[in-house]
Amino acid sequence: MKEIDSLIEKALKYKESGLTDHEIAEDLNVSKETAIWLLNKGKEKKPEGDLKVGWKSIGVYPSRIGFISDALCDIILEEVENNDLEIDTVVGIALNGIPFATSIAEKLGLELALFRPHHEKIGAFSSNYASVEGKNVVIIDDVVGSGETFISAINATTKEKGTPLLLISILNKKKQDQIKKVPLRALIRARVI
Protein backbone atom coordinates (compact mmCIF):
# COMPACT_ATOMS: atom_id res chain seq x y z
CA MET A 1 0.00 0.00 0.00
CA LYS A 2 2.98 2.30 0.63
CA GLU A 3 3.95 2.10 -3.03
CA ILE A 4 0.39 2.99 -4.10
CA ASP A 5 0.42 5.99 -1.73
CA SER A 6 3.75 7.08 -3.22
CA LEU A 7 2.33 6.80 -6.76
CA ILE A 8 -0.78 8.77 -5.75
CA GLU A 9 1.45 11.48 -4.30
CA LYS A 10 3.56 11.63 -7.49
CA ALA A 11 0.48 11.71 -9.73
CA LEU A 12 -1.08 14.55 -7.73
CA LYS A 13 2.21 16.49 -7.76
CA TYR A 14 2.43 16.11 -11.56
CA LYS A 15 -1.19 17.24 -11.93
CA GLU A 16 -0.50 20.34 -9.81
CA SER A 17 2.47 21.17 -12.05
CA GLY A 18 0.20 21.15 -15.11
CA LEU A 19 0.77 17.72 -16.65
CA THR A 20 -2.17 16.08 -18.41
CA ASP A 21 -3.51 12.65 -17.41
CA HIS A 22 -1.77 11.21 -20.47
CA GLU A 23 1.57 12.81 -19.57
CA ILE A 24 1.26 11.56 -15.99
CA ALA A 25 0.60 8.02 -17.26
CA GLU A 26 3.63 8.26 -19.57
CA ASP A 27 5.93 9.45 -16.79
CA LEU A 28 4.76 6.85 -14.28
CA ASN A 29 4.79 4.09 -16.95
CA VAL A 30 1.20 3.09 -16.22
CA SER A 31 -1.96 3.11 -18.33
CA LYS A 32 -4.02 6.29 -18.57
CA GLU A 33 -6.80 4.49 -16.68
CA THR A 34 -4.41 3.72 -13.82
CA ALA A 35 -3.16 7.33 -13.79
CA ILE A 36 -6.76 8.57 -13.48
CA TRP A 37 -7.36 6.06 -10.68
CA LEU A 38 -4.27 7.39 -8.87
CA LEU A 39 -5.44 10.99 -9.32
CA ASN A 40 -8.76 10.02 -7.71
CA LYS A 41 -6.71 8.72 -4.76
CA GLY A 42 -7.75 5.14 -5.41
CA LYS A 43 -11.39 5.78 -4.50
CA GLU A 44 -12.81 4.09 -7.58
CA LYS A 45 -12.38 0.48 -8.66
CA LYS A 46 -8.78 -0.11 -9.66
CA PRO A 47 -8.22 -0.89 -13.36
CA GLU A 48 -7.28 -4.51 -13.87
CA GLY A 49 -4.11 -5.85 -15.36
CA ASP A 50 -1.78 -2.85 -15.32
CA LEU A 51 1.89 -3.17 -14.50
CA LYS A 52 3.97 -0.33 -12.98
CA VAL A 53 7.43 -0.15 -14.50
CA GLY A 54 10.34 1.83 -13.12
CA TRP A 55 13.84 1.96 -14.56
CA LYS A 56 15.41 4.77 -12.52
CA SER A 57 18.40 2.53 -11.68
CA ILE A 58 19.21 2.60 -15.39
CA GLY A 59 18.35 6.23 -16.06
CA VAL A 60 20.50 7.86 -13.38
CA TYR A 61 23.80 6.87 -15.02
CA PRO A 62 24.61 7.39 -18.72
CA SER A 63 26.85 4.32 -18.66
CA ARG A 64 23.85 2.15 -17.76
CA ILE A 65 21.81 3.74 -20.57
CA GLY A 66 24.75 2.81 -22.81
CA PHE A 67 24.73 -0.81 -21.63
CA ILE A 68 20.99 -1.16 -22.27
CA SER A 69 21.49 0.55 -25.64
CA ASP A 70 24.15 -2.04 -26.51
CA ALA A 71 21.56 -4.79 -26.04
CA LEU A 72 18.98 -2.83 -28.07
CA CYS A 73 21.60 -2.33 -30.83
CA ASP A 74 22.16 -6.08 -30.87
CA ILE A 75 18.42 -6.64 -31.43
CA ILE A 76 18.38 -4.02 -34.20
CA LEU A 77 21.39 -5.60 -35.93
CA GLU A 78 19.75 -9.04 -35.64
CA GLU A 79 16.60 -7.69 -37.35
CA VAL A 80 18.68 -5.92 -40.02
CA GLU A 81 20.55 -9.14 -40.81
CA ASN A 82 17.56 -11.52 -40.64
CA ASN A 83 15.25 -9.30 -42.70
CA ASP A 84 17.75 -7.58 -45.01
CA LEU A 85 16.80 -4.11 -43.70
CA GLU A 86 18.58 -0.84 -44.34
CA ILE A 87 18.08 1.74 -41.62
CA ASP A 88 18.98 5.40 -42.09
CA THR A 89 17.63 7.08 -38.97
CA VAL A 90 16.92 6.32 -35.32
CA VAL A 91 13.79 8.05 -33.98
CA GLY A 92 13.66 8.69 -30.24
CA ILE A 93 10.21 9.18 -28.75
CA ALA A 94 10.12 11.97 -26.15
CA LEU A 95 10.74 11.80 -23.35
CA ASN A 96 12.04 8.43 -22.25
CA GLY A 97 13.04 7.05 -25.64
CA ILE A 98 15.47 9.90 -26.33
CA PRO A 99 18.48 8.82 -24.22
CA PHE A 100 18.40 5.32 -25.68
CA ALA A 101 17.85 6.54 -29.25
CA THR A 102 20.76 8.98 -28.91
CA SER A 103 23.08 6.24 -27.68
CA ILE A 104 21.89 3.78 -30.35
CA ALA A 105 22.30 6.32 -33.17
CA GLU A 106 25.84 7.06 -32.00
CA LYS A 107 26.79 3.37 -31.69
CA LEU A 108 25.35 2.48 -35.12
CA GLY A 109 26.57 5.65 -36.87
CA LEU A 110 23.04 6.67 -37.88
CA GLU A 111 21.11 9.94 -37.94
CA LEU A 112 18.97 10.90 -34.95
CA ALA A 113 15.41 12.23 -35.17
CA LEU A 114 13.27 13.17 -32.17
CA PHE A 115 9.51 12.74 -32.03
CA ARG A 116 7.24 14.50 -29.57
CA PRO A 117 3.94 12.61 -29.32
CA HIS A 118 0.64 14.29 -28.59
CA HIS A 119 -2.17 12.30 -27.00
CA GLU A 120 -4.92 13.97 -29.06
CA LYS A 121 -3.13 14.82 -32.31
CA ILE A 122 -0.45 13.19 -34.44
CA GLY A 123 2.58 14.76 -32.70
CA ALA A 124 5.64 16.35 -34.31
CA PHE A 125 9.29 15.81 -35.13
CA SER A 126 11.81 18.31 -33.79
CA SER A 127 13.29 20.48 -36.54
CA ASN A 128 16.64 20.57 -34.71
CA TYR A 129 17.37 16.94 -35.59
CA ALA A 130 17.30 14.70 -38.67
CA SER A 131 14.28 14.59 -40.93
CA VAL A 132 12.58 11.25 -41.55
CA GLU A 133 11.50 12.21 -45.06
CA GLY A 134 12.56 9.49 -47.49
CA LYS A 135 14.31 7.57 -44.68
CA ASN A 136 13.99 4.04 -43.33
CA VAL A 137 13.65 4.39 -39.57
CA VAL A 138 13.76 2.43 -36.34
CA ILE A 139 11.62 3.97 -33.60
CA ILE A 140 12.74 3.76 -29.95
CA ASP A 141 10.72 4.10 -26.73
CA ASP A 142 11.18 2.80 -23.20
CA VAL A 143 7.93 0.95 -22.44
CA VAL A 144 5.10 -0.24 -24.68
CA GLY A 145 1.77 -0.14 -22.85
CA SER A 146 -1.25 0.49 -25.05
CA GLY A 147 0.93 1.06 -28.12
CA GLU A 148 -0.64 4.50 -28.72
CA THR A 149 2.72 6.31 -28.63
CA PHE A 150 4.23 3.99 -31.24
CA ILE A 151 1.07 4.34 -33.37
CA SER A 152 1.44 8.12 -33.21
CA ALA A 153 5.12 7.89 -34.20
CA ILE A 154 4.34 5.48 -37.07
CA ASN A 155 1.59 7.78 -38.38
CA ALA A 156 3.80 10.86 -38.14
CA THR A 157 6.69 9.07 -39.88
CA THR A 158 4.52 7.95 -42.80
CA LYS A 159 2.94 11.42 -43.01
CA GLU A 160 6.49 12.82 -43.39
CA LYS A 161 7.10 10.22 -46.14
CA GLY A 162 9.43 8.10 -44.03
CA THR A 163 9.25 4.32 -43.67
CA PRO A 164 9.05 2.78 -40.19
CA LEU A 165 10.81 -0.59 -40.38
CA LEU A 166 11.19 -1.54 -36.74
CA LEU A 167 9.93 -0.60 -33.24
CA ILE A 168 12.27 -1.14 -30.28
CA SER A 169 11.61 -0.85 -26.54
CA ILE A 170 13.07 -1.98 -23.26
CA LEU A 171 9.79 -3.48 -22.06
CA ASN A 172 6.71 -4.66 -23.96
CA LYS A 173 3.48 -5.03 -21.96
CA LYS A 174 1.52 -6.07 -25.08
CA LYS A 175 0.93 -9.54 -26.50
CA GLN A 176 1.52 -8.34 -30.05
CA ASP A 177 4.82 -8.58 -31.90
CA GLN A 178 3.88 -5.75 -34.24
CA ILE A 179 2.01 -2.47 -34.29
CA LYS A 180 0.37 -1.33 -37.54
CA LYS A 181 2.29 -4.13 -39.30
CA VAL A 182 5.66 -2.78 -38.08
CA PRO A 183 7.68 -5.41 -36.15
CA LEU A 184 8.01 -4.74 -32.41
CA ARG A 185 11.00 -6.06 -30.47
CA ALA A 186 11.83 -5.53 -26.80
CA LEU A 187 14.45 -6.65 -24.32
CA ILE A 188 11.74 -7.78 -21.91
CA ARG A 189 8.12 -8.82 -22.28
CA ALA A 190 5.80 -8.60 -19.28
CA ARG A 191 2.30 -9.98 -18.81
CA VAL A 192 -0.26 -9.83 -16.07
CA ILE A 193 -1.55 -13.38 -15.55
Structural domains of the chain, with CATH: 2-39 (no CATH), 56-189 (3.40.50.2020)
Whole-number pLDDT of residue 191: 73
10-residue mean pLDDT series, the chain (193 residues): 81 88 80 82 70 84 97 98 98 96 98 91 93 99 91 97 98 92 95 64
Whole-number pLDDT of residue 10: 86
Whole-number pLDDT of residue 88: 99
Name the E strands within 68-132.
89-93, 111-116, 124-125
How many Å apart are CA 157 and CA 32, to the nearest integer? 24
- Cα–Cα nearest to 168, from 61, 81, 79, 106: 79
How many Å apart are CA 132 and CA 136, to the nearest integer? 8
Whole-number pLDDT of residue 33: 80
How many Å apart are CA 15 and CA 36, to the nearest integer? 10
Neighbours of 187 (CB within 10 A): 14
- Cα–Cα nearest to 168, from 109, 52, 87: 87
- Cα–Cα nearest to 67, from 98, 100, 90, 91: 100
How many Å apart are CA 179 and CA 182, to the nearest integer? 5
CA 164 to chain centre: 15
CB 114 within 8 A of CB 94: yes
DSSP state of 44: S
Whole-number pLDDT of residue 47: 67
Phi, psi angles (nearest 5°) of residue 102: -60, -50
Whole-number pLDDT of residue 181: 98
